[in-house]
Amino acid sequence: MNKTAFGCLIAALVAALALSVLFNMAQFAALMGQGIAGLAQPKEKLLEKVEVPGKAGATDKIVHLDLEGVISSMNVGGFLEQALPSVDAMKRSLEQAVEDESVKAIVLRINSPGGEVTASDIIYAAVKKAAAVKPVVVYMDSVAASGGYYVACGATKVVASETTLTASIGVIMDSVNYHELFNKVGVSSQTFTSGAFKDTGSGARPMREDEKAYMQDLVNRMYDRFLGIVSEARKVPKDVLKSTVADGRVVTGRQALEAKLVDKIGYIEDAYTWARELGSAPDATIVKYSAEPTLLGALGLAAARAQSPAKVELNLSSQALPKLQPGMLYYLPGSFVH
């Protein structure tokens, strides 16, 4: 074998080895991203970016967090995690802010119409837990309705803009009935169930009266919990709320103030000022959190995509909202269902 051929062979072997190492690292990163059963994963420390500088030399901080879009339990992971109001991402951010002694208060900006009942409740509980340790000031942006308002009830204080749309205190469950369409085209559905309510909500047949009562009871129970949380947070009796703003309506920030659903009218700067006051940190720097991009994370995302190729669709009619699932309970205004 001549030197040229030998050199090419060595280069090919090195390249193959490098590709093998990268592939194994990607597989390992994907596995770590999913979590290994029985092994605790170390917490990833979020990076800080200065949003509003404080006084020179000041070490105190106010953390600004964002809850944006429809609240969902779906975890995207990777680089897209910061683009959705992930339950885990919000909990992680709140925990780091609470554990950091230099953080004196938290400002949570909410720009969300709400979302899934359980996801909203989990974030509300995380906000309330944080507020028991450090002041949490919620700033309501364009919309903080239904599940968005539910989350706000966990805060220490709530600021809304004059033009904020909020409240929408209520629960909604949607289903589509298409059995008459089936009849027209000559299609039928045969379902075998283990109980009378197992296929409740199926659109292939009319809903029975006992099923309607059953579904309404589920909605009423979730509504009663929502009502109780608002009543406790805002110190307004449940019967007063039910007879005024807790009928599902959306109100402006000014109307919310009059109904005692918020504490003050203002802008994000007013929320910062209030957080500094409540945290006794007048010179504090306002910072935002972001996840640190890593090579393993990038390789893991690439490996996950390689295993499950994504289909890209562009649907302008959906208004970039996630598809709402029939039969699932949501804290959302009715206009977001259809």
Active-site residue list: 146, 198
Handedness of CA 191, 196, 201, 207 (dihedral sign): positive
Tokens of 154: 């966990």
- Among the listed residues 143, 155, 108, 140, the one whose alpha carbon sits nearest the alpha carbon of residue 267: 140
Least Cα distance to 149 among 82, 245, 73, 54 occurs for 245
d(CA 108, CA 297): 27
User: String of b and e for 270-288 (b: at least 16 CB within 10 Å)?
Assistant: ebbbbbbebbebeebbbbb
CA distance 146 to 248: 8
The residues near 181 (Cβ < 8 Å, ≥ 6 apart) are none
Query: Looking at this protein, which amino acid is placed at residue 244?
Result: T
Measured CA to CA in angstroms, residue 61 lies from 28, 136, 230, 328 at distances of 36, 13, 29, 39
